[in-house]
Chain A
Amino acid sequence: MATSSTLTPPLRSRRDSVHGHEKPSPVATALLLLGALYCLLPVLWVLMASTKDGSELFSTFTFAPSTHLFDNIAQLSAYRDGLFWRWMANTALYAGAGAIASTFVSALSGYVLAKFVFPGKGAVFNILLMGVLVPGVILAIPQYFLMAQLGLTNTYWAVFLPQIISPYGIYLARIYAAAAVPTDVVEAARTDGSSELGIFARIAMPMMLPGLVTIFLFQFVAIWNNFMLPYIMLGDDSLFPITVGLNGLLNQGASAPALYTLVVTGALLSVLPLILMFLLLQRFWRVDLAAGAVKA
């Protein structure tokens, strides 16, 4: 690793460089703010655009706010008896329940892989790890045929079940269990006669908790984001998550631009809860992919 001695020092004044880090750099700050502006721009736009009625959306400068936000929300809520809110509830169910189930399975598997010694452990882990980079979307089509065989397409199960398994979640959980659960604590509990599941649930899980929140967030976002699976599995639009629902609405909007207002308002309402969750749980987003460690 590079150390100070390997640096070739074309020295400026020594005093400057020692105190240099205290001096703010306008260029660095400006670049960061520019990046922030780029990232906020579409969100600000949708905030403004959702306050406009149909004709204003197409005729006025869309960064200037208007007064129709609540009309738009009312209109969206009235669309096909509140179908939009049904989509929101579906999304919360798929992502929320799915991520909880996924986190639990990942925690259990990761803990066993980190803390038990048993024949076949290496093989199991390697096969699971291969799954990390098998693109989920490539699985979606055969998963559809599988679900069709089971008669489960076009049901909640078709979207919920395939997303519980997360090789990446298991991988993270293994690292977290290895780092956070001391082996002597597990051994001591065993000597005291605790059952293995009891040790996992009452001792290991609490120790792994910050890492599990990160796994939960990862999986929550992954399920919320997954468009192809529900797009393939579901035909009944009352089962749609918000992404598939809004995609359909935009498709109809191509022939009926009046629907664009609904799409814009729907986009705003659907990102707000997620953005809120991100801001609240910010500190859990510390991911070190290469060292494989999650620091929270």
Chain B
Amino acid sequence: MRRRSHRFRSRVLTPYLMLAPGILLFAVFMAAPILYTLYLSFQRVEVSGLGLGSGARKQVFAGLDNYAAALSDPEFAASVGRVLLYGLILIPCMLGLALLFALLLDSRRSRATTFSRVSIFLPYAVPAVISSLLWGFLYLPSVSPFYYVTERLGLDMPQILSSGLIMFGIANIALWGGVGFNMIVIYTSLKAVPNDIYEAARLDGATETQIALRIKIPIVMPSLIMTALFSIVATLQVFAEPTTLRPLTNTLSTSWTPLMKVYRDAFTRDDIYSAAASSIVIAAATLLISFVFLRVVQKRAFGQED
């Protein structure tokens, strides 16, 4: 009897025990930081007297002050505006090219597909810092082969590292790094389609282009939506590319993107409270999008389980 109840208890506890490492790590490194940021965002430091001595600086409740300050800060608004424009340039180009390449790889009329697939996917192996470094040098007139050639030809090539074009320069780096991954995602969902659908269409006289437009694109639409969502989330947190390019140009401010501003506020200016509020604003915007994600994904993904 004792033994049975012991066994019963261990059967009930087993899933929780096995989930413990994951839940613990999640709680400490994801949930706790989020809650802590939330707490900090409602605090501020009150300095009494001359601000000397250990009791002179005191953390007090600030209400929504930090949020009001963050949302009305022209620097923050400017960085958000830049990131939105950057996303508008990057995401349609990246996903458009990814879709095009995936369809071309899947088309029976293309050649050199293995070479192209591997080559286009390769930049995914290059970390954003390194790819920014490579492109940064390619943008730098004193080193770049492009400027070398255009100069010899007497052409005036526009300065990519100038304030007008740097946005495109950074978008190009992200495009280079991201197009291959998205292409593979779309290509994988194309490969999952049984071939007889295409055969039937071909027998009905559809051309490869018609098949691509009317059958393949609708089939990969869910993948396309997912890659778009992931791209939007990644865009909101762009940090490594502009940070790496900063030594090569003087057009990138320390608050060029929202996250760069958060970093600067927290570590250079020691204002962790306003950095926390800005983080929450960015996270809330992201969460709004993840809510959409949850609804799309959960319906589709878990049909085959117990």
CB within 8 Å of B: which residues of A?
A: 1-7, 9, 11-12, 14, 17-18, 20-25, 28-29, 31-33, 35-43, 45-46, 49, 57-58, 60-63, 105-106, 108-109, 111-118, 121, 124, 126-139, 141-143, 145-146, 161-162, 164-165, 167, 170, 175, 178-179, 183, 196-197, 200, 221, 224-225, 227-228, 231-232, 242-244, 246-247, 250-251, 253-254, 260, 263-264, 267, 270-271, 274-275, 277-279, 282, 285-293, 295
Contacts and interface: CB of A to CB of B under 8 A. Distances in A.
Given A178-B304, A287-B188, 18 more contacts: A1-B218, A12-B205, A18-B203, A33-B116, A39-B180, A105-B21, A114-B305, A124-B23, A131-B30, A133-B229, A138-B37, A141-B266, A146-B29, A167-B30, A244-B129, A253-B247, A279-B118, A292-B300
Given A62-B148, A167-B26, A288-B188, A116 B15 contact: yes
Contacts of B166: none
A interface secondary structure, majority: helix
B interface secondary structure, majority: helix
Looking at A42, A254, A275, which has the most chain B CB atoms within 10 Å of its CB?
A: A42
Interface string B130-172: 1101111110001111001100000000000000000000000
B237 A1 contact: no
A293 to B, nearest CB: 8
A32 B247 CA distance: 34
A113 to B, nearest CB: 8
B253 interface: no
Contacts of B192: 288, 291, 295
B263 A141 contact: yes
B62 interface: no
22 contacts: A18-B202, A22-B108, A32-B101, A32-B112, A35-B120, A39-B122, A45-B138, A112-B19, A117-B306, A138-B37, A143-B29, A146-B36, A175-B301, A227-B128, A232-B263, A247-B133, A250-B136, A250-B248, A288-B192, A292-B300, A293-B301, A295-B192
Interface stretch (B51-59, B69-77, B238-246): B238-246
Contacts of B123: 39, 42-43
B205 A243 contact: no
B293 interface: yes
Interface in B281-306: 282-283, 286-287, 289-290, 293-294, 296-298, 300-302, 304-306
Interface of B: 12, 14-16, 18-19, 21-23, 25-26, 28-30, 32-34, 36-37, 40, 97, 100-101, 104-105, 107-113, 115-116, 118-131, 133-138, 142-145, 148-149, 176, 179-180, 184-185, 188-189, 191-192, 197, 200-208, 210, 214-215, 218-219, 222-223, 225-227, 229-230, 233, 236-237, 239-240, 243-244, 247-248, 259, 262-263, 266-267, 272, 275-276, 279, 282-283, 286-287, 289-290, 293-294, 296-298, 300-302, 304-306
B262 A165 contact: no
B301 A145 contact: no
Given A25-B110, A167-B26, A279-B118, A146 B33 contact: yes
Contact of A133 (B223, B266, B286): B286
Given A183-B306, A228-B240, A278-B121, A288 B131 contact: no
A135 B233 contact: yes
Contacts of A135: 233, 236-237, 282-283, 286
A245 B112 CA distance: 37
Contact of A39 (B36, B176, B247, B262): B176
B286 A32 contact: no
A295 B136 CA distance: 36
B205 A14 contact: yes
Looking at B14, B197, B204, which has the most chain A CB atoms within 10 Å of its CB?
A: B204
B22 A142 contact: no
A132 B229 CA distance: 12
A17 B202 contact: yes
Contact of B145 (A62, A139, A178, A289): A62
Contacts of A111: 18
A141 B262 contact: yes
A136 to B, nearest CB: 8
A170 B189 contact: no
A168 to B, nearest CB: 10
Given A133-B289, A135-B236, A135-B237, A28 B204 contact: no
Nearest to A23: B109
A4 B200 contact: yes
B188 to A, nearest CB: 5
Closest 5 CB pairs of A and B: A133-B290, A292-B301, A142-B33, A290-B222, A36-B119
A2 B282 CA distance: 39
A115 B306 contact: yes
Contacts of B207: 12, 17, 20
A31 B116 CA distance: 10
A178 B306 CA distance: 8
A254 B107 CA distance: 47
Contact of A227 (B129, B189, B283): B129
A43 B205 contact: no
